Amino acid sequence: MTSAERQRRCTLTRQPDGSYRLAIEQAPVPTPASGEVLVRVRAASLNRRDVYVLKGQYPMPPREALVPLSDGAGEVVSPGAGVTRFKTGDRVAAAFFQRWLSGRPDAQAPSSALGGQIDGMLSEYVCLSEEGLVKVPEGYSYEEAATLPCAAVTAWNGLFTRGRMQPGDNVLLLGTGGVSIFGLQLAAAAGAHPIVTSSNDEKLARVRKLGASATINYARTPEWSGEVRAATGGMGVHHVLEVGGVGTLPQSLASLAPGGHIALIGGLSGFGGDIPAAALLHSNITASGIYVGSRESFEALNAFIGQHALRPVIDRAYPLEDALDAYRRMESGQHLGKIVITL
Ligand SMILES: NC(=O)c1ccc[n+]([C@@H]2O[C@H](COP(=O)([O-])OP(=O)(O)OC[C@H]3O[C@@H](n4cnc5c(N)ncnc54)[C@H](OP(=O)(O)O)[C@@H]3O)[C@@H](O)[C@H]2O)c1
């Protein structure tokens, strides 16, 4: 591979209305610096954040010509000088935060988010620090591996690292998007009881096949915490992956069992909402802010995936030329699980 070779990648250009235009461009294949690895990216996946970024609604606006998407997987084609963690041919996925390796994040971690502050994965070739990569789970396709870095790591941290989920726990997942479907699969594999809400009965039928022990149509039942209580014999849930935000937080809090844990993750109905401190105190509730997680968490997730033979639910895969259609599908909310782009 020489630097004279060209590749295709997508970049974002700011529009007068504040949104961004996604375009495919030709660019040189980068050369790995010392400690970096050149990766031929084979698949990337979308998260809701990528739609916010494209629409100009992300709180940290991307710089001009940013390559979008945090999530991607591919093969190592050329390790740079001094690289010891990977060799040519290794199958790798990128960690969401390139500089949060383990333990607590430091203040610099957020600025190392791929597809946010730094170029992301919607590019045939990327150069990344060897520290910012993990091995793909055994037997996974690149499409499957590309679904993991953001949504699956977030669900993992919400349920295990911060929530300390146990077999038999009741777990509430909101909607059927990327984070919630991984949450369902992780909870079912751990012997917990996942309860899933959706606005769509066909999707609810599908999540029952994926292991949901109870389902609720939140469009038909806007005050759904009563149904959550009924489904848990009055006890409530020990965990909520709160992806809905301001519109769902009150119902999520009302669904919690004493001693429960609410992982504050998303804002599908708008970010924000009030945490009632006195009520939390009386019920011994824990609330955690979750922002994806470290490389160490990604590796722990991958070990669990291997143990339990979990396979991600891929809604659709689009070729790079149709990347915008992938964004449109995510924005429509018609998907279940993850949307992939192949390169
Ligand atoms: N903090 C973090 O680290 C982190 C990481 C990943 C994602 N997030 C955030 O978490 C949220 C989910 O992300 P995602 O990528 O999983 O999204 P996604 O795949 O786009 O999820 C979309 C689905 O969510 C459901 N939904 C939409 N509005 C809802 C509402 N008001 N109540 C309940 N469900 C609703 C719908 O499911 P149905 O069609 O079944 O109704 C919709 O299809 C986003 O706000 C995202 O920014 C945060």
Q: Whose CA is nearest to atom 11 of ligand 1?
A: 266
4 has pLDDT over 80 = no
Average pLDDT (61-66) is: 91
- Could you say which DSSP state residue 311 is in? -
The predicted structure's pLDDT at residue 16: 96
The predicted structure's pLDDT at residue 293: 98
The predicted structure's pLDDT at residue 61: 86
Distances in whole angstroms, Cα of residue 312 to Cα of each of 170, 188, 280, 338: 22, 13, 34, 8
| Contact predicate 38/76, CB 8 Å | yes
Collapsed DSSP state (helix, strand, coil) of residue 303: helix
Q: Count other C-beta atoms under 10 Å from residue 197's C-beta.
A: 29
Q: 268 CB less than 6 Å from ligand 1? A: yes
| Contact predicate 56/17, CB 8 Å | yes
Q: Whose CA is nearest to atom 2 of ligand 1?
A: 291
The predicted structure's pLDDT at residue 1: 53
Query: Which residues, 6 or more positions from 113, have their beta carbon under 8 angstroms from its beta carbon?
Result: 70, 96, 97, 98, 292
Among residues 236, 242, 243, 241, which one has the least CA distance to residue 259? 236
3 has pLDDT over 70 = no
Q: 247 CB less than 6 Å from ligand 1? A: yes
The predicted structure's pLDDT at residue 65: 94
- 93 C-alpha to center of ligand 1: Å? 22
The predicted structure's pLDDT at residue 75: 98
Q: 295 CB less than 6 Å from ligand 1? A: no
pLDDT in tens, 288-327: 999 999 999 999 999 999 999 999 999 999 999 999 999 9
pLDDT grade for 60, boundaries at 50, 70 and 90: confident
Q: How far is 189 from 36, CA to CA, in rounded Å? A: 35
Q: What would the two tokens of residue 126 be?
A: 């990327």
Q: 266 CB less than 6 Å from ligand 1? A: yes
> pLDDT > 90: what percent of the chain?
97
- 268 C-alpha to center of ligand 1: Å? 5
66 has pLDDT over 60 = yes
Query: Which residues, 6 or more positions from 134, have their beta carbon under 8 angstroms from its beta carbon?
Result: 92, 93, 95, 295, 298, 299, 302
pTM of the model: 0.98
- Could you say which DSSP state residue 123 is in? B
* Closest ligand 1 atom to Cα of 51: 20
Question: For a pocket test of ligand 1, which of 240, 243, 340 has the largest count of ligand atoms closer than 8 A to its C-beta?
Answer: 243
* Closest ligand 1 atom to Cα of 178: 16
Collapsed DSSP state (helix, strand, coil) of residue 21: strand
- 84 C-alpha to center of ligand 1: Å? 38
The predicted structure's pLDDT at residue 169: 98
| Contact predicate 158/300, CB 8 Å | no
Q: 283 CB less than 6 Å from ligand 1? A: no
Q: Which amino acid is at 181?
A: I
Q: 72 CB less than 6 Å from ligand 1? A: no
- 51 C-alpha to center of ligand 1: Å? 11
| Contact predicate 197/215, CB 8 Å | yes
Collapsed DSSP state (helix, strand, coil) of residue 28: strand
- Lowest average pLDDT, out of 2-11, 133-142, 199-208, 308-317, goes to 2-11
Average pLDDT, the chain: 97
* Closest ligand 1 atom to Cα of 47: 15
Collapsed DSSP state (helix, strand, coil) of residue 254: helix
The predicted structure's pLDDT at residue 92: 98
Q: How far is 155 from 239, CA to CA, in rounded Å? A: 11
- 48 C-alpha to center of ligand 1: Å? 7
2 has pLDDT over 60 = no
- 75 C-alpha to center of ligand 1: Å? 30
pLDDT in tens, 76-116: 999 999 999 999 999 999 999 999 999 999 999 999 999 99
pLDDT in tens, 108-156: 999 999 999 899 999 999 999 999 999 999 999 999 999 999 999 999 9
Q: How far is 324 from 68, CA to CA, in rounded Å? A: 12
Sign of the Cα pseudo-torsion (248, 305, 97, 161, in order)? positive
pLDDT in tens, 226-237: 999 999 999 999
